[in-house]
Structure 1
């Protein structure tokens, strides 16, 4: 049973290592090598691992640029794990037996984009789900689904760690069957399907008028390996590593203002409730009690109008 593998992140690495561990005949690995890894959550490069295990490796930026190369390979099963690009039907159909995809939700629930962030945001249990890869994303029949729990204290990183453990269990069950030629997936019940939409780095902007609970969920969902939630202090963009809701301290302040500061955290008044935030270390020294985080639109418009008025006066004087 010859395999072609496509991937590029932490979940891909677990899958590739399991393929090697189970002595699967890997014909070729296509590894995602983006122009910039900054916005690729959990990026991993497989070149060294492939060299170590004498596996042929091809880097890619856009996998659909390699259609002809993949079609020329004589292989049985295609594994696509951990890339956000939609794979061409020609690539999917190039496998003699079929293609297997991966998704970290309890399909048919949670199809779509940014699933780990959404699981954290909504406190929804996830799953390591391997399914038949088809033209329509995340809709194929399911081979294996190993579920895991998501709780309110979870962050994107802790959920990813739970996912990777579930993946290992799922692959230990799936790969022996694939090697024996077993191909008997269970169709999804489309009546139960839900979908997650794309999340982008700018969606990590914190709106301090929201309740503390919602802000806490956003910060945890956007946490590493994602690009992080953020706020503003004047001209500075402050990224937030973590957060915790404060229930014991009885203090009331104006929304968005810093109420207390310790060595690594700042306590902020939210639309309702209080939250401690931990910014990246180099920002911590900038935070002082009484500072306003974020922008108040009318104040910012007034400042801009005043700067424009002064600029006009200055230009007029020079004329």
Structure 2
């Protein structure tokens, strides 16, 4: 059973390591090597692992640039794990037995983009799901699905840890079957299908008018390995690393105002309830009680108009 593998993140690394552990014949690995790895959540490079295990390795930025090469490899199974690029049908069909994809939700629920962030945001249980890779994203019949729980205290990183553990369990069941030539996936129930839409780095901006629990979910969902939630303090964009809801203190404040500050955290009034936040890089030292986080749009427009009037006046004087 010859396998070609395509991947580029932590979940890909677990899969490739399991393929090696189960003594699967990996004909070639295609590893995603973007120009800026900081923009790829959970990025993982496989060149060293492939070198150590005498596996042919090809880096790529766009996997569909390698169609002809992949078609020429004469292999049985294609694994595509942890890349957001749409893989050409020609690549999928080049595997004689078929192609296997991966998704971290309980498919058919949660198809689509940024699944870990959505699982944390909505406190939805996930799963390590291996399925038949087809033209329609995340819709193929399921080989294995190992579920895991998501709880209120989870962050994107803790959910990823649970996912990677679940992947190892699922692969220990799946790979022996694949090596024996078993291919009996179960079709998904389309009536149960749901979809997650794309999330972008700017979607991590905190709106302090939201309730504390919604802001807490956003901060946890956008946290490492994702770009992070953020707010503004005066002219500075401040990344927020962690948060916790305050349920004991009886304080009423103005939305976005800093109410208390301790060594690592600041207490902020939200649209409903209080929340402690941990800013990045010791920025807590810059915050004082009474400071305002975020911008009030009407005030900012007014300030800009005043500055524009001053500038126009000076230009008029010069003329």
TM normalised by structure 2 equals 0.99
| Structure 1 runs not aligned, ≥5 long | none
How many Å separate the matches in 1 of 2:258 and 2:73?
60
How many Å separate the matches in 2 of 1:26 and 1:234?
54
How many Å separate the matches in 2 of 1:190 and 1:35?
38
Instruction: Report the equivalent of 1:140.
Output: 140
Instruction: Report the equivalent of 1:231.
Output: 231
Pairwise mapping of residues 96-175 of structure 1 onto structure 2 (< 5 A)? 96-175=96-175
Q: Establish whether residue 240 from structure 1 lines up as the match of residue 220 from structure 2.
A: no
Runs of 4+ in 1 over 4 A off after TM superposition: none
How many Å separate the matches in 2 of 1:316 and 1:34?
50
How many Å separate the matches in 1 of 2:113 and 2:240?
23
How many Å separate the matches in 2 of 1:272 and 1:104?
32
> Which secondary structure does the structure 1 equivalent of 2:58 belong to?
strand
> Which secondary structure does the structure 1 equivalent of 2:244 belong to?
strand
Instruction: Report the equivalent of 1:302.
Output: 302
Query: Could you tell me how far 1:247 is from its partner in structure 2?
Result: 0.4
How many Å separate the matches in 2 of 1:168 and 1:113?
22
Listed one character per residue, the Cα deviations across residues 184-205 of structure 1 (whole Å, up to 9, x for unaligned) are 0000000000000000000000
Q: Establish whether residue 218 from structure 1 lines up as the match of residue 218 from structure 2.
A: yes
Instruction: Report the equivalent of 2:313.
Output: 313
> Which secondary structure does the structure 2 equivalent of 1:152 belong to?
coil
Pairwise mapping of residues 169-318 of structure 1 onto structure 2 (< 5 A)? 169-318=169-318
Listed one character per residue, the Cα deviations across residues 184-237 of structure 1 (whole Å, up to 9, x for unaligned) are 000000000000000000000000000000000000000000000000011100
Query: Could you tell me how far 1:282 is from its partner in structure 2?
Result: 3.4
Listed one character per residue, the Cα deviations across residues 3-50 of structure 1 (whole Å, up to 9, x for unaligned) are 000000000000000000000000000000001112200000000010
How many Å separate the matches in 1 of 2:149 and 2:277?
25
Aligned length: 319
> Which secondary structure does the structure 2 equivalent of 1:76 belong to?
strand
> Which secondary structure does the structure 2 equivalent of 1:288 belong to?
coil
TM normalised by structure 1 equals 0.99
Query: Could you tell me how far 1:102 is from its partner in structure 2?
Result: 0.2
Listed one character per residue, the Cα deviations across residues 145-175 of structure 1 (whole Å, up to 9, x for unaligned) are 0000000100000000000000000000000
Listed one character per residue, the Cα deviations across residues 90-113 of structure 1 (whole Å, up to 9, x for unaligned) are 000000100000000000000000
Query: Could you tell me how far 1:281 is from its partner in structure 2?
Result: 2.3
How many Å separate the matches in 2 of 1:80 and 1:283?
40
How many Å separate the matches in 2 of 1:80 and 1:192?
24
Instruction: Report the equivalent of 2:66.
Output: 66
How many Å separate the matches in 2 of 1:285 and 1:44?
34
8 A contact 1:264–1:281 mirrored in 2: no
Instruction: Report the equivalent of 1:42.
Output: 42
> Which secondary structure does the structure 2 equivalent of 1:101 belong to?
strand
How many Å separate the matches in 1 of 2:94 and 2:122?
37
How many Å separate the matches in 1 of 2:24 and 2:43?
24
8 A contact 1:208–1:215 mirrored in 2: yes
> Which secondary structure does the structure 1 equivalent of 2:75 belong to?
coil
How many Å separate the matches in 1 of 2:157 and 2:46?
21
> Which secondary structure does the structure 1 equivalent of 2:282 belong to?
helix
> Which secondary structure does the structure 1 equivalent of 2:70 belong to?
helix
